[in-house]
Structure 1
């Protein structure tokens, strides 16, 4: 874990940085499902006092990423039924984001989506890089939707996604399929076709779910 004290000295800022760092460690697998999370160890590793760590852990617990057990706080585990529920909601929300983006995206935002889609296509062979570009692509769609309430809902959903182990881009076939799926979403948004954008985004999430379930079988 990197030092979380840089960039500001107020407790709230430190708590936010600890929160983001722990969330990223969960997403990256540095903190594994079921692993004990000790307040004092986190504080020592990040070079902060226990107060911002306590605040961050409370927030992570409220968001379902950390859970209390008789043995203490541990990284939460997401079940197969929960995974299906998560992707069902993701399909609805990501589809809506693409629909709104087709209606409201600025030309510069569409250009950003096109650049991210192209960058994704050149990152084959690096599952971590593909996952990061994919997250940025989806985040750019949400930004282009210009709906603050959708942003809030997808932010919480993104937290839950951090509990899923690994990335679907570990599967060799997932990257090439995602390239065509991203291209279809961008084309529909650029054409200002909300129906096509929503269909393309929903299909993208459906196929991501299929890949996720395949990955879970290998876990």
Structure 2
């Protein structure tokens, strides 16, 4: 578990005591979700409530509640000492992608209909940044641009409940998804899909957006399965658990 965990807006040691417990729990929950999404929490980490509470400078109970919420949502598994990231089987991942294919293309179509000039400009900027990163083999930069591109169009989906659902499903396969963009060929493919999706958004063609997002997801699923098999085979040979990398999903 990383030791540099902090909670935003922590002003003084007494701040946590003065805020409602629910607010602290939500902040801890979001903090841990962000760490999981970025790959800073891996399969090797044990998440122990009193250790996290000490690192964050908060009481143990809201941390415990945040961990139990992550467990109930399927992100974590309980062990004899703390929690660990849940390990998904290939069947689990296939089912998750099947559900995402039912939701995300339609959500992207709604985002296209609800698109703002600012949002479209941000998407264009992220494609430009991804092109620059790809040209110089800046893998972290490319990953950040890819994530920001997706977050921008998801941020224009008008249904917040739909956004929460698709984000949760996407995060469930984070451990495998995080590894895909290590491969330059996959980065090239991801960049092409980003451009195609952007073009459809700029043309205000919601049907084309839905089709291109669905196509990207099918290709991404194929890459994920291949990556997962490689990770599991490599881990079996080393006798260790797989580690996370970074995302290639648009």
TM-score by length of 2: 0.78
Contact 1:23 1:162 in 2 (8 A): no
Partner of 2:27: 17
User: What is the alpha-carbon root mean square deviation over aligned residues?
Assistant: 2.2
- 1:19-72 residue CA offsets vs partner (Å, 9 max, x unmatched): 223223333443322643211121222232212211211211121111224555
* Secondary structure of residue in 2 paired with 1:74: strand
- State the 1:7 CA deviation: 3.6
Partner of 1:160: 172
In 1, Cα distance between the equivalents of 2:82 and 2:127? 42
Contact 1:65 1:163 in 2 (8 A): no
Kindly indicate whether residue 114 of structure 2 is the aligned counterpart of residue 111 of structure 1.
Answer: no
Which region of structure 1 is more displaced relative to structure 2, 57-66 or 120-129? 120-129
Partner of 1:147: 159
Contact 1:78 1:163 in 2 (8 A): no
- State the 1:92 CA deviation: 2.8
From the superposition, tell whether residues 29 and 112 of structure 1 become closer, same or farther in structure 2 (CA, over 3 Å). Answer: closer
Residues 1-219 of structure 1: pairs in structure 2 closer than 5 A: 1-4=4-7, 6-7=9-10, 9=15, 10=19, 11-33=21-43, 35-70=45-80, 72-124=82-134, 125-164=137-176, 166-219=178-231
* Secondary structure of residue in 1 paired with 2:184: coil
Unaligned residue ranges in structure 1 (runs of 5+): none
Unaligned residue ranges in structure 2 (runs of 5+): 232-250
Contact 1:100 1:146 in 2 (8 A): yes
Contact 1:34 1:77 in 2 (8 A): no
In 1, Cα distance between the equivalents of 2:161 and 2:36? 25
In 2, Cα distance between the equivalents of 1:152 and 1:42? 25
Contact 1:34 1:76 in 2 (8 A): no
- 1:48-105 residue CA offsets vs partner (Å, 9 max, x unmatched): 2212211211211121111224555322111111111222222332211221122221
- State the 1:187 CA deviation: 0.9
In 2, Cα distance between the equivalents of 1:141 and 1:44? 37
- State the 1:165 CA deviation: 6.1
In 2, Cα distance between the equivalents of 1:137 and 1:62? 29
Which region of structure 1 is more displaced relative to structure 2, 50-59 or 88-97? 88-97
How many residues of Structure 1 are paired with residues of Structure 2 in the alignment?
A: 219
Which region of structure 1 is more displaced relative to structure 2, 76-85 or 92-101? 92-101
In 1, Cα distance between the equivalents of 2:98 and 2:5? 35
